[in-house]
Amino acid sequence: MAETLLDIAMMHSETVIARAKQGDQNAQGKLVQLWYKRIYNFSYKFFMDHDLAMEVSQKTFISMCRNLAGLQDIARFKSWLYKIAVNYCREEARKKKGSRSLSFDVVWNREAEDSPKWESSSQRYANPESQYQQAELSDILQQALYELSEEQREVVIMKEYEGLKFREIAEVLNISENTVKSRMYYGLDGLKKILERKNITKDTIGYEL
């Protein structure tokens, strides 16, 4: 993950967090600005659904603003925030399971075929021709991610895409560091197998990387 200005700002946001903790609404707004993209992308990869991701992100930041005063250690803000997000993701996943018992394939196909968002998002790329394949691969990977169990998915997303340390993930999930590493191991293993099944290997996509 290349460091952007946003990432740098996120790394030096301790004073902002401290001010937000004291109830400064400007600082809270700034924190939301800084972290919204991260939390949204985390939940998006978790659900592969824009609406659910928005829902979870909004709930996460509302909860953040309300409960920030109770945060003990500013250095732990990151894992604290992801903890909230993970909890909301699990809650939404439970609701989803309860309300609509559609199989994953049905949901995915419907989204892929009917969703106007899907089309608009691919139009955003500058060079549609070359980006199309890239987008395709990323879609396949996202789908593969989604096929992992919830436990493995959380860990893989937090490690690979959110760049949390194993220690931080352990803090977020309240489990031991070794358990996190085990889940990561099985998650990567699962991804490998899923991709092999889809016949995606180094040789088939090598020219793209």
Among 27, 45, 47, 108, binds other proteins (CB under 8 A): 45
Nearest-CA neighbor of 22 among 79, 70, 75, 76?
70
Closer residue to other proteins in complex, CB, 69/97: 69
Candidates 18, 21, 58, 146; binder of other proteins (CB under 8 A) is 58
Q: Under the criterion CB under 8 A, does residue 85 sit at the interface with other proteins?
A: no
Task: Please choose, from the candidates 174, 193, 136, 181, the residue with its C-alpha nearest in 3D space to the C-alpha of residue 156.
Answer: 181
Instruction: Please count the other Cβ atoms lying within 10 Å of the Cβ belonging to residue 151.
Output: 14
Look at the block and give the residue holding tokens 């989604």. 146
Binding of other proteins at residue 67 (CB under 8 A)? no
Does residue 181 bind other proteins (CB under 8 A)? yes
CB within 8 A of 4, min separation 6: which ones? none
Residue nearer to other proteins on the CB measure, 33 or 97: 33
Residue 174 φ/ψ, nearest 5 degrees: 60, 40
Q: Does 62 bind other proteins (CB under 8 A)?
A: yes
Applying CB under 8 A, which of residues 22, 121, 130, 149 lies at the interface with other proteins?
121
Binding mask 149-178 for other proteins (x = CB under 8 A): ----------xxx---xx-----------x
Number of residues that bind other proteins (CB under 8 A): 43
> What's the rounded Cα separation, in Å, for the pair 9 and 187?
31
Q: Cβ closer to other proteins: 8 or 97?
A: 8
Question: What letters, b where the CB count within 10 A reaches 16 and e where it falls short, cover 167-198?
Answer: ebbbbbbeeeeeebeebbebbbebbeebbeee
Binding of other proteins by 107 (CB under 8 A): no
Residue 13 engages other proteins in binding (rule: CB under 8 A) = no
Binding of residue 96 to other proteins (CB under 8 A): no
Q: Could you give the CA distance from residue 67 to residue 76 in angstroms, rounded to a whole number? A: 14
Told to check if 191 binds other proteins by CB under 8 A, we report yes
Stretch that binds other proteins, among 10-18, 87-95, 146-154, 199-207 (CB under 8 A): 199-207
